Amino acid sequence: MHSLFDLTGKVVVISGGTGVLGAELSWGLAQAGAKVAVLGRDPKKRDQVVNGILAKEGDAIGILCDVCKQEDLLRARDEVLAKYGTIDILINGAGGNRPSATTSPSRSFFDLPEEDLDWVMRLNFMGTLLPSQVFGEVLAQKKEGVILNISSMASLQPLTNVVGYGAAKAAINNLTQWLAVHFNKNYSANIRVNALAPGFFLTEQNRYLLTDEQTGELTPRGKTILEHTPMGRFGEPADLVGTALWLVSDASRFVTGIVVPVDGGFSSFSGV
């Protein structure tokens, strides 16, 4: 059973690997034996994640990269191939939201700035599509590999306020299915593409929506979410690792084109 989840020798590229969830995935994959290339825009956070992996005798490198810039991605691909010689797994973990692209009592839908909505759509959707082109080409050439996209609960059930973010994540679900079919039909039956849809985790992008910035107490939105989460808590970053390991390892070798909720039951509960 252990061998099904073993990633020893596998080379993983993870975008957004310096974020709260991405860092936890990077550490978890390294502990499973993978060689991890951590992509991010913050050199301090990049070094923190990489050094944490190296301190536990893992194998990792950090690469500064903006996933919305193809020239950055091509350079990052060259660096990974120069270091490890191949790429086996791509995790598209980069994403995020902006308060200015989110409706609120003080900001109506009609006042959301076009440039901020564009930023959210581009980061989440194009920040998944472009790496899938650049790194996916390696998988197509070798005729095997795995892509794991990070979607969101906002993609499965439209949530109030996060209009651009939810739409972008819904597009990722569609892209996940499209890529799964495209790679199988055109390149190899040994390339799989799936997605994770995390429920509600306290991350940098949504903390201001779920907890009060001054007191740390739950906002009305945060209370409503917990009331509609049967397990009664927010997710912890480590809660994603097991499902991610399943989806990128041989344990799921006949699984492709699906979106897996990791949400404490939120998507199953009608509220009554």
Question: At 169, phi and psi to the nearest 5?
Answer: -70, -35
| 2-32 residues labelled b (16+ CB within 10 A) or e (exposed) | eeebbbeebbbbbbbbbbebbbbbbbbbbbb
Q: Do residues 6 and 34 lie in contact, with contact meaning Cβ atoms separated by under 8 Å?
A: no
Catalytic residue, candidates 84, 165, 187, 208: 165
SS3 87: coil
In degrees, rounded to 5, the angle at the alpha carbon of residue 38 between the alpha carbons of residues 133 and 128 is: 30
Q: With contact defined as beta carbons under 8 Å apart, do 146 and 256 qualify?
A: no
208 included as an active-site residue: no
Phi, psi of 217 (to 5 degrees): -75, 160
Beta-carbon contacts of 162 under 8 Å, excluding residues fewer than 6 positions away, are 97, 102, 154
8 Å CB contact between 3 and 80 = no
* Contacts of 6 by beta carbon, 8 Å cutoff, 6+ apart: 32, 33, 249
Which tokens is 147 given?
């892509």
| Catalytic residue ranges | 165
